Structure 1
Amino acid sequence: MQYSAYIAHFLVLIQLLGIVAAVHAVLTVRTAQGAIAWATSLVFMPLLTLVPYLVFGRSRFDAYIEARRQANHEMHEAAAELDWRPWVEEALAARQYDGYKALKAMVGLARMPTLANNHVRLLVNGKASFDAMFEAIAQARKVILVQFFIIRDDALGQRLAQLLLERAANGVDVFLLYDGIGSHALPGRYVEHLRQGGVQVYPFSTGSGMINRFQVNFRNHRKIVVVDGVRGFVGGHNVGVEYLGEKPPLSPWRDTHLELRGPAVACLQECFAEDWYWASHTLPTLILPKAYEEAGMLCQVVPSGPADPQETCSLFFVEAINAAVERLWITTPYFVPDEAVSAALRLAVLRGVDVRILLPSRPDHKTVYAASSLYALEAVRAGIRIFRYQPGFLHQKVVLIDHDTAAVGSANLDNRSFRLNFEIMVVTVDDDFAKEVEKMLMTDFEQSVEMSLDDRRRLHRLQQLGMRVARLVSPIL
């Protein structure tokens, strides 16, 4: 009897805590959809959702956000003393381009300038991407900045470590930043070996404190490599053999990176420096070339994160969609748009824009895939063309707008990228580069199957129910 009383008291306590947490969610979760999803589950299923809310749900750590903003401010003050920004001449030159007007909103959104005279190379798969990055690292003479969400201690991770150790042994300043959650399986011996070899290594973490230690939001999802301040790399690849297509059942892996040369590489360095300063409270070595070429394309680097004054990533997609006049092609592994992005996509179709979204046909996260599938079916009903990539898992994050604008980076079309992760995209304005991206995506579409309204009719009722349940929790995925 006494045992039953203990259970009853425990359940009452859990219910009360669930109500308190639900009120907290309503007051603090950034989106109405997320607040409703958390509050409903905390009130009606507190036993199942209290711990996940502690880990995943507290998307507004005010103290963390203020600390991050202060760290960014301190980093910028330290960098300003170096007088290293190439903003003035290249920013003025950018205004002479016709494509500059299309990026004016991005300047304010990114808090970085649109810069002229850049050169960009499209890297269409894992082999091309890592061959280019490793070749650049091997040739480094002064400094290497490396940042990935995931680094694995496998054959690819060992190749990266060996290259970094070789460069450090030759007097190169080497900085390596990895996400503490994304790289949770990375053994301590890997990091220690690098440190003993002269590589400066830090994990990116949300912060310290009893509650924060359970927090897995605010992950650093960026992938940045900069060599000697001259060559920069951004895209979707992490460091693991699966990104080379060598790990079933998701192989062959489909992903995209780009190589950037020119003044916009300084923006990549600044983005890395913000993250490095947060992790280490020190400034990495920052380098600018003495001069840049006097020709090239416009580039806009768009970093985003939860400490931004606005929801930069979500607004980036809204602005990109609204800018489209004739064509909007997007590839993303996760399609869980918020209301603003969904509305922008529907309006683009009504304007007569050719809107296509390329998604994977295989899931790597089943709940996200189920939610994504329901959003995809609703998009088809709205006139958006949805394609499922067939050969393997599709992980690339690419946007193609009309005939001249393209973007490549790390941001997915989901709530985690919109509001919880640190991301980075590089927007380019250049007809020739846009044609390269178009050619790459056309090859992808040719290897895909277009969804239709009949796909919904073929679903079993239990599948439809599962997709709707997944959609209910999609704002908190």
Structure 2
Amino acid sequence: MDWWNILIYALLVSYFLLVIATVFTVLHERRDPIRALSWIAVVILLPFIGLGLFVFFGQDYRKQKIFNRKEIKDLKQFEHLSYRQLREIDSFSHPAVASNREIITLLLNNNKSLLTTDNRLEVLNDGAETFSSLVDALRRAESSIHLEYYIFENDDLGGEIVEILKAKARSGVEVRFIYDDVGSWNLKRRFIRSLREAGVQIHCFMPVVFPWLTSKINYRNHRKIVVIDGRVGYTGGLNIADRYLRGTKYGPWRDTHLKIEGSAVHMLQLTFLTDWYFATGIQLKDKEKYLAPAARNAGDTAVQIATSGPDSDWATIMQAYFAAINKATDHIYISTPYFMPGESLLTALKVAALSGIDVRIMLPSRSDSKIVYWASRSYITELLEARIKVYLYTEGFNHSKIMTIDDHFSSIGTANMDNRSFEDNFEVTAMIYDSRVTDRIEQRFLQDLKGCVKLTRKHWAARSRSEMLKESVARLFSPLL
């Protein structure tokens, strides 16, 4: 019995020493104070479980430099070009540059994201538009197809796209495919084997192998990118699965995707090539094939492709949103499925609204993630108090990730307005400097508002106490979600 007591005592002492060491680690890394306090609370208040959560989800790989973009040799050319653009930005003749100079300069500095001004964009407003365009473009591929998705399912839609990929690979087209191991958890080995047998080069991004690689399970590739022949690119909110086309139990799936032609495709391609290197250790160097010259007279829309994730030194997309919000003079329209913006963006939005700017935020009335749903709702009271107009979309599930500001800035991409997208996930977003494209996005946003319930402070204050309790509890975990 004495030995048993000694063993229990030793285990308890070891556990408390681990807790103290973990708390010291969090403090030593000088994290964002709110996230640091949240992790300390989790570790202390959830015995044993809290330590496990920290090991799996709490590592800060941006600070640890585990993912290093500087190893990619092809990035040096783009880094040189970004320095040149910084020196010459005042001489750009494109009309969008003057009104967005600060945002463009920011992205050149924090992300080496080149400004491209020769693009043609097509805004795709649902699964039917997106997949019809994508399937047609894939069938036309002549030299290369590069695609990466967070979620790819082997259902009817996924099966149709896979058959195209196999046929193209057999005909000599280079097909490369990256899927995220967590998002595409259901893909079977025989599915992957069948693609490889057809000549498709398919790799998993950061596989999770228990127990060895679980410390990186928190850092996922949330990007949706397709680049065809180095000339046509797609990105936005839609993954590959039937529900994105046919809807879910919540109704039709409302989303926004983007087709790009022009030099911005090179930046999407470079993002894919970087992710390919992370997934395989192989650098693809045939620039003539993978960075094909942009089609002449593709268009005149100015675009910067911004990426963020643990491979970058800065929270690029969050910083760009912060700069854009602070420049607003008339209105800000935001649609996001998950809203946990962090203190800086939340303050920027409140200040804008209290300064007389028309700030409207569209959220889904129902969600596919309960804790995120309640955490998002926990911000609504203070949004309404700051005179921000909040709308709940009721005609299905709105998964669009868009922002428009005044008449000259808009964004479409993969990043939600939450800490996970800003800090942890690999994300990509197109920053668009064009009044015509911005107007098209805004017109669809205003159309979507007709399918929303506009919240009032009186109506919101009348919700049940149980709802308020769920919001308050979920809010405690919002810095970690």
TM-score (norm 1): 0.92
Residue in 2 aligned with 1:195? Answer: 196
Q: Distance in 1 between matches of 2:91 and 2:403?
A: 21
In 1: Cα distance, 2:96 partner to 2:403 partner: 16
Aligned to 1:252: 252
Q: Deviations over 1:248-277 (max 9, x none)?
A: 323311111010011111111111111111
CA contact (8 A) 2:119 2:298 kept: no
Structure-1 separation of matches of 2:413 and 2:335: 11
| Aligned residue in 2 for 1:454 | 458
Give the alignment's Cα RMSD to 1 decimal: 2.5
Moved more, 309-318 or 124-133: 309-318
Structure 2 unmatched ranges of 5 or more: none
Instruction: Pick one of 440, 443, 454 that aligns with 1:439.
Output: 443
Kindly indicate whether the alpha-carbon contact (under 8 Å) linking 1:106 and 1:302 is maintained by their aligned counterparts in 2.
Answer: yes
Q: Which residue matches 1:95?
A: 92
Deviations 1:435-456 (A, max 9, x none): 2111111111110011222244
What is the alpha-carbon distance in structure 2 between the residues aligned to residue 367 and residue 216 of structure 1?
A: 19
Unaligned runs of 5+ in 1: none
The one-letter code of the counterpart of 1:27 is H
Which residue of structure 2 lines up, in the alignment, with residue 283 of structure 1?
A: 283
User: Contact 2:237/2:413 (CA < 8 Å) preserved in 1?
Assistant: yes
- Partner amino acid, structure 1, of 2:106: A
SS at match of 2:368: coil
Match of 1:273 in 2: 273
Q: Aligned partners of 2:89 and 2:62: how far apart in 1?
A: 38
Cα gap change, 1:227 to 1:329, in 2 (>3 Å) = same
- Corresponding letter in the other structure for 1:475: P
Match of 2:42 in 1: 41
Task: Kindly provide the CA deviation profile for residues 260-298 of structure 1, in whole angstroms up to 9, marking residues without a partner as x.
Answer: 011111111111111111111223451312653175111
Separation in 2, partners of 1:399, 1:460: 31
Taking structure 2 as the reference length, the TM-score comes to 0.91
Aligned to 1:325, what secondary structure does the other structure show?
Answer: coil
SS at match of 2:417: coil
Instruction: Name the CA shift for 1:319/1:74 in 2 (closer, same or farther; >3 Å).
Output: same
Q: 1:131 and 1:374 mapped to 2: Cα distance?
A: 38
| Cα distance in 2 between the residues matched to 1:203 and 1:447 | 38
Structure 1 vs Structure 2: percent identity of aligned residues? 32
Whether the 8 Å contact between 1:28 and 1:60 is mirrored in structure 2 is no
Tell me the residue number matched to 1:169. Answer: 170
1:48 is displaced (CA, Å) by: 2.6
CA shift for structure 1 position 351: 2.6
Q: Which amino acid aligns with 1:272?
A: F
> Equivalents in 2 of 1:327, 1:386: separation in Å?
14
Change (3 A) 1:93 1:298: farther
> Is the contact between residue 145 and residue 228 of structure 2 (CA under 8 Å) also seen in structure 1?
yes
Task: Give the corresponding residue for 2:408.
Answer: 404
Cα distance 1:108–1:206, how it changes in 2: closer, same or farther (>3 A)?
Answer: farther
Question: Aligned partners of 1:465 and 1:261: how far apart in 2?
Answer: 48
| Kept after mapping to 1: 8 A contact 2:110/2:313 | no
User: Which residue in the other structure is 2:59 paired with?
Assistant: 58
SS of the equivalent of 1:254 reads strand
Note closer, same or farther for the CA distance 1:118–1:398 as it changes in structure 2 (3 Å cut): same
CA distance 1:349–1:84, change in 2 (3 Å):
closer
C-alpha distance in structure 1 between counterparts of 2:364 and 2:163, whole Å = 33
Contact kept? 1:29, 1:59, Cα under 8 Å: no
- Give the alignment of 1:320-339 within 5 angstroms: 320-339=324-343
Residue pairs, 1:278-317, within 5 angstroms = 278-284=278-284, 286-289=290-293, 292-293=296-297, 295-317=299-321
Q: By how many angstroms is 1:213 displaced?
A: 3.2
User: Within 2, Cα distance between the matches of 1:254 and 1:206?
Assistant: 30
